[in-house]
Structure 1
């Protein structure tokens, strides 16, 4: 039987920062509770019925100074807490450029995981200790939420868009994975296990997994099957934007604005190509909405991303 613990195990780099913030807020809340409770008891005892103390209104300047003082103090405290919490959140917002990218597809009621080498998992995720891991996630049906308490991380997974989170596990072991957003009748059964392994153990584990074509390879085949190569290939006669080196770059648009070619932009360009037309090109690309599903979008985006990475 596991002993009762009031503080869950911290198994990621981000967990230490979140625990520090939580402990600080807990101490501050406790101090405020003791201060207010102490003042209530003190004033209740001092001004109890029958006590011989001076009563009446305070002088006007004293009332004004006290009111201004506690209002200003509360404002500065709130601003400090906002700065502290937002700094901790933004500090770890962007994943390191060399992070291991793993794709996650949520659906009622399971987590489907794709590793870079093509290995697949359902309701399980194996990661190496000490290495940054970046999860690129989307949902096939409704809103889900990827939540690992030991990592102190939770990220909504939405249909129709990509969301990301990253972490660096700091200790080996098995840690529970939950869906933290009500997603239907079997929501309580949508869980899994995150297994943190030593890097050499993870390498051995990945080497023995059934090998399938990786996500980018499947995206390349789908890219050809959908006829995309007829316009976007270097030898194509149609005047269409080249995709080599596109991912991650700033793209000028026909309306004079610029947009970053991230996963969300690529996804929108496939489903709503006339929404953000690249400068110098005609809006002739057809929409693939209803033709490809969320899993196909992950494949296509992974393929285009691999073109960008290979070109750098």
Structure 2
């Protein structure tokens, strides 16, 4: 990542954290043959477990969602040694992912496609290449996602885009303004965007200049997932209100977090007890904003 290598002292500071991870982010599997979805057992187990957890909550959760990766992040993380072109690889991965996307929705969940590739890859894979090449990559991935969602109602899908969920400088993050048009091309019912962290907290203004398509909602990240500071409920409410003002209709805004709280196994910046306090602040702030806006 360009922003990490740009600051050697920061890299040295974080090396002990990277060494504690339980999965290797640098030695991922690679494609050496045709990409296929060969076994749904793990998918079925995970969905069944989630359904059991939701049932135990006795209706407390109105619209549970389950995440799945975008074809772009798989193609970016797992080297292609089989397909002649990146385009072929991305579309092959997307075709395989149709199984997962369709099954998750069939189980009654909203599908959230996690797409760090649609922002983070600008300062990783495309760090030293023209912006136009990254935008072309975005168009490739969004097109592949749309094809994979052909049998899924768009209102049952949301697209999560982030710049990498890590506590770093983020100096080279691509501005939302430069990518928003490509994100709007996705056939999904909502965009999930980071709007709490200090690098992107101002970008609610982008939505005022480039209005959401009429068939899209905004899930605004109003909780920073990389710091142990617990947001005050008033801060959360303020962030929600700014997002609602930018969108123009508070009924089209859902409060969320910037990302998950543990990007890779063993690589957590936020203590578990603090996570729950931050989520409590999210709920309290959303209640405040709702009373003020509706």
TM-score normalized with structure 2 length: 0.20
The structure with the greater share of residues assigned to helix is 2
TM-score normalized with structure 1 length: 0.19
Select the structure of larger CA radius of gyration: 1
